[in-house]
Amino acid sequence: MTPLKTTLLLPLLLYAFGAFSQSNINQDQPRIAELDQFWKEVSRTIAEGDFEAYAATFHEKATLVSGIGEKAYPIATALSGWKKEFDDTREGKRKSSVEFRFNRRLGDPTTAYETGIFYYSFEQNGEKNGYYIHFDGLLIKDGTWKMMLEYQKSRASKEEWDALK
């Protein structure tokens, strides 16, 4: 390729790449806003002990993978194990909360793959506890966003959490 062709081609390629990247960012903004609302709803349901609304954030055939426990099972099994904590929160016997921070958010208008850390904290009988967990979430949108797969990969540190601000 001659220097003149290279000189003309390079700005064109940079413009095309820049326009494509900006287009992707603009397309991602509505999806990210919807997903931010999804995660806020998850946080609300945990803080209020709203078990039915929390369960509704999952697809009925969703799977939970626990890297910590080295297990995978239907979300229905996990939900049945968590129900008492929701009931205790709703009844005021326990305070629960969860926050999410992300390091990767991929997808299109109907599919999302989100990775990050969540911080789950709770207080019961005057004792405060909490833990940070690296997680991946695979979601689909069919009218509303639903979690298909929650992968709780491994424990995270507060330093890792703080790095995701």
Q: What is the pTM of this model?
A: 0.82
- Where is 164: in which H helix or E strand? none
For the stretch 139-151, pLDDT in tens is 999 899 999 999 9
Residue 108 pairs in a beta bridge with 111
In words, the CATH class of domain 3-163 is: alpha beta
Tell me what pLDDT residue 26 has.
Answer: 64
pLDDT of residue 23: 44
Domain regions of the chain by residue span = 3-163
Residues 106, 24: contact at Cβ < 8 Å? no
Question: Each residue of 51-87: pLDDT tens digit?
Answer: 999 999 999 999 999 999 999 999 999 999 999 999 9
Q: Where are the alpha helices (DSSP H) in the chain?
A: 3-48, 51-55, 75-90, 158-163
Residue 1 has pLDDT above 60, yes or no: no
